[in-house]
Each structure stands twice: as structure tokens, then as C-alpha cells.
Amino acid sequence: MGYIGFLGCLLDGHHKATVAYERQQALECLVIEKLEQKKVIEPITPEKLVEEVFFNGRTAQLPTVEDYCYIRYLMEERTITTHKKMLLLCEQVIKEQVVLQEGQLDCLFSYCQVFTERELPRLYQLTKKYQYKDIRYSYFEKLSSVGNSEQIDEIMLDYLIYDEYDNLAVTKICDEYFERVL
């Protein structure tokens, strides 16, 4: 288990970890880290782990390896170590106070999908401004996976009405979303 900031990575024993996570139980694990100079390894308490994983009173999704790597990349690029700082970055991006590169924006989508679903719909207007088709695809792929709500229905419908079949892959995601929820 590697644990930096608020994000951890389990290298083995994922089945046991998933069950412990779902049951909100502590998990005994062995931490192996590269020792540099006289670094003291402090054990991670179950309280700290639960506090970070069960962020904002809701259970975060378990990130895929790809999502984990995306989120870690953004954390390292922006030297972010807490959820509070990530939420601040998200707010700054939404208000266009901070402009992220294409890859970083995709990382932010992954973070929102895993930890703060309610922020993902707020990023929709921003995706209209980016001309990269991959950004729209990534955004809609993550949006369609967080469940359905009236707000998400409106975003999907808005895209279908105004996309003019500009991005067939995104159109397909929207169509599949409505097939699933209707």
C-alpha cells in the first residue's frame, strides 16, 4: 500500500481490500516504502484511512488503475495533497481562474468521477470551450458512469440536440445512457 496525500494504491490483496472497504472495516496491510535518509515511517491509522476514503460523508468509488494514475499525475503536477485543495482547483477551473492542459483536465474528470460526482456536471460548460474531441469523450464517459439525475439527463440531451453528430463516440455514449436509464 502506498499512501501519499489522500490517495493510496494497493499493490496486492485487492479482493480483501475491496471487501474491507465495502464493509467499512479496518484492513491490516504491510507497507513497503523506499527509505531515504532517516525517514520515519508512520503507520496509517484506520481512522485516517476511513476519514480520507469516506470523504464528505459519502463513500468514494474505488478508482481504476487508470483513474488512480490520472489523479496521481494531477496531484504531483499541482502539488496537491488534500481533497480540499483538489476541490479548490476544481472550483478555479469551473470559474476559469485556472486553465488546465488537456491531460490535466482529463485527470480532474477522473477525480470528480471517483470522489465528487456532484462537481462533474458543473464542468460541462467548460468542455464546450475545448475543441479536443477526446476531452468531450472522456467527460461524457465519466459522466455516464456516475448514475443518473435530472441534471445529467439535461446535459446528455443538450449534447444530443446540439452536437450535429460532431463526435459519434460521444453521441453513442449519450444514446446508451438514455437506453440504460429510461
Span 20-62, pLDDT tens digits: 777 777 777 665 555 555 555 566 565 655 555 555 444 456 6
Grid cell for residue 140:
461524457
Tens of pLDDT, residues 91-145: 999 999 998 887 899 899 989 988 888 899 999 988 877 766 688 898 999 999 8
Residue 91 is predicted with a pLDDT of 95
Residue 96, classified by CB atoms within 10 Å of its CB into exposed (0-12), middle (13-18) or buried (19+), is: exposed
Grid cell for residue 151:
441534471
Residue 59 is predicted with a pLDDT of 47
Confidence of residue 151 (pLDDT cuts 50, 70, 90): very high
Residue 13 is predicted with a pLDDT of 67
| pTM beyond 0.85 | no
Contact 99, 142 (CB under 8 A): no
Q: Could you tell me what percent of the chain has a pLDDT over 90?
A: 26
Average predicted confidence (pLDDT) for the chain: 78
For the chain, where are the alpha helices, taking DSSP H only? 14-22, 46-53, 65-78, 83-94, 102-115, 124-129, 133-145, 150-162, 168-181
User: For residues 85 and 44, what is the distance between their CA atoms, to the nearest angstrom?
Assistant: 21
**Consecutive H or E run containing 75:** helix 65-78
